[in-house]
Structure 1
Amino acid sequence: MAYRQLLKRITTRNYSTQKALFLSEKQIQSLDQVTESELLVEEININSEHYVRGSEEAAFGSKRIGCVELPKPLMKSIQDLVEGQDKRLIRTDALRLYDALRSTARIPKETDDFDGTRSAKKIRKATASVVEPHKVSYGPRESVAYAAGVLPSTYAAVTNVMKEISSRVSDFRPRSMLDFGTGPGTAIWAAKEHFELEKCVGVDLSEDMLRVAEQIEESIKLGDSTPVEFKRFLSVDPKAQKTDLVVCSFTLGEISSAALQKSTVEQLWEQTGDMLVLIDRGTPVGFSNVVRARQWILDMEGANAHVVAPCPHEKPCPLLFSPEAKPNDLWCHFSQRVQRPTFLMKTKHSKFNTEDSKYSYVVLRRGARPAKSSSIESQAYHWPRLIQPPLKKNGHIVMDTCSTNGEIQRMVIPKSQGKIPYRDARKAMWGDSFPHLSKNKIVTRVSEGITKEE
């Protein structure tokens, strides 16, 4: 009885909700023999100091952002767009888009199948399921299918790149943006999530795609939203003010020839006042498009341009220009997970609500590469980049990285190197910049790239 009365007196008092009352076992057993004043009440002080296990540099170099989800206004606008269409036609057109993308994924090899080593029967069997490389023209049906079946994956890739730029380059605050090959405006919506833009221009050759972009923009536009102008052609005015941020996402592969690609990239660079972002599919062809565009600009500008990401150098890419490069087997690309909206799950007839978007990219900025200083931001420009997922072994981590000397190197971080470097290596993921040097000997997997001009 005394125990219950004592608990009632304690609980009815105005104690702070952030404190706890602890009684020893002996005190609980003697509650009937003691009074409240005889109880020993101790206040436990909680140390608010944060215990850091990994390094700050490794956290800064991390590229992962988790699963990307489309903004709800954008999802709703696409859902409204899909509701007014025939669902079976949308799926049929989306499958045609997927076939076209798969058919142009790999770099064609100049080999003669009829060289006497393979029979005609084996060749017919091997090529029976292969779709001839082709591209799709975007009409009204294809434009809607693109928004319903392709836009989420492209949005995820652009979002990852924009997040990396905003977190790594503190002095980059763009006010204007040009999105070349805008499609339904994917890159514009992704950039708006990370930058305070005052003017956006989207350029696309397809009138039907621009019509879809305008419809999406009208449905999610708010009273104080950034004005977006969509047009078919890129007007070049030497006297006009250049654009702070120029983006060309998943468009280089749609250009028919290398000469036209080079001309387009050079015009985009002329329009760039600060930073140019080139993104393409994470396939051997998409990778080669991005790397060649990167090299064109660096050859043209020299020391007046540098690579912000992903390369820690301005030398020719070893995965394409090195004598031992095999771009169909090993190429630089990255992955970003995206949550599939309902309309995408229905378009693909899939029960899984996530998918991985593979992409290759390069971010170029005017001016020389920042010199290494005491700040983490300047040091990150010189950290090697993981081009593949690390191999986590028993007691050591194996990482293939793109190094500052323009080579693909294999680093091994053993447990004996220290707690912090080893933990950073354990937590490192594909695409991260790694700040520690290797204790063990570094092995060169692919040598430095050499261009034809050299």
Structure 2
Amino acid sequence: MSAALLGTKFIRQIGSLWTYSRITCYRFHQKRCLQEAVSIPEPAFEQDKQGNLVAPVARAFPRGLDIDPEVLSQYQEDPTRYSKTHAGLMHPDKVPYLPEHLVKNARAVLVENDLISHSKFKDDVKHLQEVYWRRQPPISESFKQEKIQELKEKHLAEEIERENINFEELHEGIKERLLHRVGSVSNKVFKKTSHMWKPIDYRDHTGLVYLAARLAPNYTVLYRIFYEIHKLDSSFNPGAVLNVGSGTGSAVWAANEIWARKVYEYYNVDISNYMNDLARKLLAKDIVNPLDLVIPGVHFRQSLPSPQHIENRFPLVVSAYLLMEQPSMIERLNLVTLLWELTEDYLVFVEHGTTAGYRLILEARELIFKLRDRYPDLDGHVFSPCTHDMVCPKLYLKNSPCTFPLEYRIFNIGKEYGQGYTKATERYSYVVLKKGKKQEGKRYPRLTNVLHKSAHSPCTMCCPDGTLRQFVVTRKRPSVALHKCTKRCSPGDFIPFSWPDTSTQISDNVNNESRKQKNNDKNLKNVENDINIEENLK
């Protein structure tokens, strides 16, 4: 290629970059002008089709809000270090490792059953993970019959139209055969188009596959939730923990890492006797003698204690991935009611980070609110992750589940402990409910999504007034301190600025008026051009 062509190509590239930079600067200027036109009026709510009040979503950061004064004073003492460990961070500093003794026993169990070297075992582990992520709760029998009846009517109408017959004039025997064929086709279509829930039998091989697939993510998720409870309520020390649907006993290991010897008793409840024996082996000092446990005070049973006795109250009750296992909605709601009656302080529900899992979390949350309104002794509120007790704005406005990503260390079944540890990401939904009235205190918004850029961070946050807001945090607006703290945040963390009692927001009227003015100017310019064209034609 000649030097002239190279020079021409270089000039074109420079021209393209110059044009792109001009457009970028112009868009930044427009955005800055809109930010300067911000006002802070009273919150303006919109009304949806059902008559519910919904707050509009705003993007610019209001000028009336800034970092919490207490956080600011601590930040000024050591800006570099404090921004990495500020009060809003709810995640541990490092991704937690599985306890060494737990990994050792888990590997020993798999070796005992000759599964580590089995070629198909890893495929079974992967398949079980996929089953969990596409699983749906069981549908009611009434809904099933209603859906099948709709399909029958549809297929019968198509059959009559295709054969061009009069159904009423047909012989009774022909009618029966036709209805039988239509019913058979409708049942097949229903099975193909609907998710048919089936219970999973956690015995023998399936239980060991579950151990390899879910040991690491279950432990890390519960460790993260217990870490948040301990950080927000440092005075809370659960003397006893009730773990319902205990499985491999991940809640016992996670609670022991957070509270250690402050927990005196662990009650693990699982209807599968095989899973109880497996959890006992993982807790044993030697799997040959599973009665001598590493963590003292661990008990196993197959049924829940009765809430009739006052002494059957537990400071911490955990139900991890159990709501999806219930065969019907009635049994699911009865379980939630029973667990709330057995709770003394905190009740934790955890499900997979799917839309179906999150809807089960919301179902439990709403049921407890109804129990609270009906029975004064069952009063309570949401402790986390929600900063309010109102309708979930993310699901209501965006039809999107409120899930949080979490990084965990994979349990490598084919390698020794400490070798080849890699990380993966788990999405989960959870809610922590607390007995009693909600105490007034710091009201920080919680991040549901954040995108970190070099000079700014667009944040989507769930605010204490029950709204979902989108704010852009920059170095200049509101401050460098809040920008540095936000840079260290991830979904699930709090942004350390206090939400005022009288909610503030960006006036959508200002933005609407500016858009209307631009449209009017554009229309006026078009009219002037048309007049000039007509004069030239004359």
What TM-score bracket applies, with the shorter chain setting the length?
Answer: 0.7 to 0.9
Confirm whether residue 441 of structure 1 aligns to residue 506 of structure 2.
Answer: yes
Say if 1:405 and 1:237 are closer, same or farther in 2 by CA, change over 3 A. closer
Cα contact 2:238–2:315 (8 A) shared by 1: yes
Report the equivalent of 2:460: 400
1:17 counterpart residue number: none
Using the TM superposition, give the Cα deviation of residue 170 of structure 1 relative to its aligned residue in structure 2, in angstroms: 1.8
Distance 2:363 2:252 in 1: 25
Paired residue for 2:425? 356
How many angstroms apart in 2 are the aligned matches of 1:107 and 1:58? 43
**Which of residues 181, 193, 199 in structure 1 aligns to 2:245?**
181
Is the counterpart of residue 430 in structure 1 residue 500 in structure 2?
Answer: no
> Counterpart of 2:352 in structure 1: which amino acid?
R
Taking only aligned residues, the RMSD between alpha carbons, in angstroms, comes to 3.5
Partner secondary structure for residue 349 of structure 2: strand
* Cross-structure match for 1:67: 95
1:92-117: CA deviation from partner (whole Å, max 9, x where unpaired) = 54234223213316999x9x99999x
Q: 2:78 matched to which residue of 1?
A: 51
Equivalence for 1:336: 406
CA distance in 1, matches of 2:78, 2:226: 30
| C-alpha spacing 1:254/1:224, structure 2 compared with 1 (3 Å) | closer
Q: Specify whether residues 212 and 163 from structure 1 end up closer, same or farther in structure 2 by C-alpha distance, changes over 3 A only.
A: same
Which whole-Å deviations, capped at 9, do the CAs of 1:284-304 have from their partners, x for residues lacking one?
111111111111112211482
Decide which of 81, 86, 90 is 2:121's aligned counterpart.
Answer: 90
Which digits, 9 at most, give the CA deviation of each residue in 1:312-336, with x for residues without a partner?
111122234x3x441xxx2111122
The aligned counterpart of 2:318 is 247
Structure 1 residues 5-404: aligned runs within 5 Å = 51-53=78-80, 59-65=86-92, 66-87=94-115, 88=118, 90-104=121-135, 134-195=198-259, 196-219=262-285, 225-241=295-311, 242-302=313-373, 304-320=379-395, 322=396, 324-326=397-399, 330-343=400-413, 353-372=422-441, 379=442, 382-388=443-449, 390-393=450-453, 395-404=455-464
* Deviation readout 1:383-413 (Å, 9 max, x if unpaired): 111112x123464321111111112111222
User: Unaligned 5+ residue runs, structure 2?
Assistant: 1-75, 140-146, 159-190, 509-538
For the structure 1 residues 155 and 224, does the alpha-carbon distance in structure 2 shift closer, same or farther, using more than 3 Å as the test? Answer: closer
| Structure 2 partner of 1:16 | none
> Per-residue deviation at 1:279?
0.8
Equivalent AA in structure 2 for residue 397 of structure 1: S
Indicate how the Cα distance of structure 1 residues 93 and 371 shifts in structure 2: closer, same or farther if over 3 A, else same.
same
Letter in 2 for 1:371: E
> What's the counterpart of residue 11 of structure 1?
none
Could you say what secondary structure the match of 1:273 adopts?
Answer: strand
Aligned residue for 2:389, secondary structure, equals coil
Moved more, 144-153 or 267-276: 144-153
1:197–1:363 Cα change, 3 Å: same
Q: Which amino acid aligns with 1:198?
A: Y
Give 5+ residue unaligned stretches, structure 1.
1-48, 117-126, 373-378, 444-454
Q: CA deviation at 1:351?
A: 7.4
Going from structure 1 to structure 2, the CA distance change for 1:54 and 1:298 (only over 3 Å counts) comes to: farther
1:222 positional shift: 6.8
For 1:235 and 1:205, how far apart are their aligned partners in 2? 13
Q: Structure 1 residues 89-98 or 426-435, which shifts more? A: 89-98
Distance 2:77 2:103 in 1: 39
- Partner of 2:79, secondary structure, is coil
Letter in 1 for 2:282: I
1:342 alignment partner AA:
N
2:485 corresponds to 1:419? no
- Aligned counterparts of 1:288 and 1:251: Cα–Cα separation in 2: 14
Q: CA deviation at 1:352?
A: 6.9
- Once structures 1 and 2 are overlaid, which stretch shifts more, 430-439 or 356-365? 430-439
d(CA) in 1 for partners of 2:203 and 2:470?
47
Structure 1-normalised TM-score?
A: 0.73
Tell me if the contact between 2:387 and 2:446 (Cα under 8 Å) persists in the aligned partners: yes
Contact persistence 1:140–1:209 (CA under 8 A): no
Cα offset, 1:86, TM superposition: 3.1
Report which stretch shifted further, 86-95 or 74-83.
86-95
AA at the equivalent of 1:95: K
Per the alignment, do residues 276 and 396 of structure 1 end up closer, same or farther by CA in structure 2, a change over 3 Å counting? same
- Structure with bigger RCO (C-alpha 8 Å, 6+ apart): 2
User: Normalising by structure 2, what TM-score?
Assistant: 0.62
Distance 1:131 1:278, change over 3 A: closer
Partners of 1:137 and 1:425 lie apart in 2 by 45
State the distance in 1 between where 2:420 and 2:136 align: 26
CA distance in 1, matches of 2:369, 2:401: 20
Task: State the shift of 1:250 in Å.
Answer: 1.2
Of the structure 1 ranges 355-364 and 234-243, higher mean CA displacement relative to structure 2 is found in 234-243
The answer to whether the 8 A contact 2:326-2:332 is kept is yes
Give the superposition deviation at 1:440.
Answer: 7.6
Whole-angstrom CA distance in 2 between matches of 1:393 and 1:431? 19
Paired position in structure 1 for 2:29:
none
Larger radius of gyration: 2
| Contact map agreement 1:409 1:442 (CA 8 A) in 2 | no
Please report how far the alpha carbon of residue 57 of structure 1 lies from its aligned counterpart in structure 2 after TM superposition: 11
Deviation for aligned residue 1:168: 1.1
